[in-house]
Amino acid sequence: MKIDERGPKHIGIILDGNRRWAKARGLSVNDGHKAGAETVKKIVRYAYDCGLEYLTLYAFSTENWKRDASEVKLLMKLLEKFTDELLNDKDEKRDIRIKIYGDISRLDKKLQDNILSLEKRTENNSKMTLGICLNYGGRDELVMATKSIIDEVLSGKINKEDVNAELISNHLYTKDIPDPDLIIRTSNEYRLSNFLTWQSTYSELYFPKDIMWPDFDEKQLDIAIEEYIKRNRRFGGN
């Protein structure tokens, strides 16, 4: 489908259910994450072709470090492979700006280097912004923003009275993009799990029933967008 003025400009997706998808098929956790990575590629291409302006994916949270070490290692390798493919694809014609949101300092140096190279290479692209949340947590983001604002107040750059919602938004990782209109979470979970905590205040939420992330496809994205169009967004008004 093509997204018109009624549709969302920014969609956030919580990629959930890779492990349950694999378990239901008698496959390994590794197989589930690999299948999920292929779904990411498919949905990014389709969202771009639909005309979506911003797509933000929750790929690895600050809490995901608590998982089994072998699973974390696999996820990091998949992320490195994904960024390698983007960097080495000389035929990629899509006009996509790539932004990484989160504290990348804990990631392997190779992955950090890939991230910085991708952001630099794509910084002038403008048709769609693909945001990938890595080592990201909404509360950590707010703590980071608060510390930055405190430093500016103490240094005299701004006054305490200058602190408002707009100022806080401008100190977040996502300061240069609009808040998400629609957030989708797969796998029958009905919570945001520390995803875009500040930015999601007025986001519409959509939870596709009985769909694990590896099974989320173009049709499912169409259904989510159509559901969004039906809703009446009041932003706290009557």
| Burial of residue 212, with CB atoms counted within 10 A of its CB: 0-12 exposed, 13-18 middle, 19 or more buried | buried
Q: For 137-147, what is each residue's pLDDT tens digit?
A: 999 999 999 99
Question: 67 lies in which domain range?
Answer: 10-137+178-230
Residue 169 lies in a domain: no
**Which residues 6+ apart lie within 8 Å of 52 measured at CB?**
3, 8, 9, 10, 11, 128
CATH code assigned at 29: 3.40.1180.10
Residue in this structure with the two tokens 């769909």, named with its chain if needed: 211
Residue 122 lies in a domain: yes
Indicate whether 90 pLDDT > 70. no
Indicate whether 237 pLDDT > 80. no
Catalytic residue (choose from 16, 135, 179, 194): 16
Cα 64 from chain centroid (whole Å): 15
Of 150 and 238, which is predicted with more confidence? 150
Residue 184 lies in a domain: yes
Mean pLDDT of the residues in the chain = 95
Residue 151 lies in a domain: no
Query: What's the per-residue H, E or C state across the chain?
Result: CCCCCCCCCEEEEECCCHHHHHHHCCCCHHHHHHHHHHHHHHHHHHHHHHCCCEEEEEEEEHHHHHCCHHHHHHHHHHHHHHHHHHHHCCCCCCCEEEEEECCHHHCCHHHHHHHHHHHHHHCCCCCEEEEEEEEECHHHHHHHHHHHHHHHHHCCCCCHHHCCHHHHHCCCCCCCCCCCCEEEECCCCCCCCCCCCCCCCCCEEECCCCCCHHHCCHHHHHHHHHHHHHCCCCCCCC
Residue 237 lies in a domain: no
**CA–CA separation, 98 and 48 (whole Å):** 13
The pTM assigned to this predicted structure is 0.95
pLDDT grade, residue 238 (50/70/90)? low
Indicate whether 178 pLDDT > 70. yes
pLDDT at res. 91 = 59
Catalytic residue (choose from 4, 31, 49, 64): 64
Kindly give the pairing relationship between strand 10-14 and strand 54-61.
parallel
Residue 23 lies in a domain: yes
Residue 16 catalytic? yes
pLDDT at res. 88 = 87
pLDDT at res. 93 = 77
Residue 171 lies in a domain: no
Residue 91 catalytic? no
Number of domains in the chain: 1
Residue 235 lies in a domain: no
Q: For 93-114, what is each residue's pLDDT tens digit?
A: 789 999 999 999 999 999 999 9
pLDDT at res. 26 = 98
**CA–CA separation, 196 and 6 (whole Å):** 23
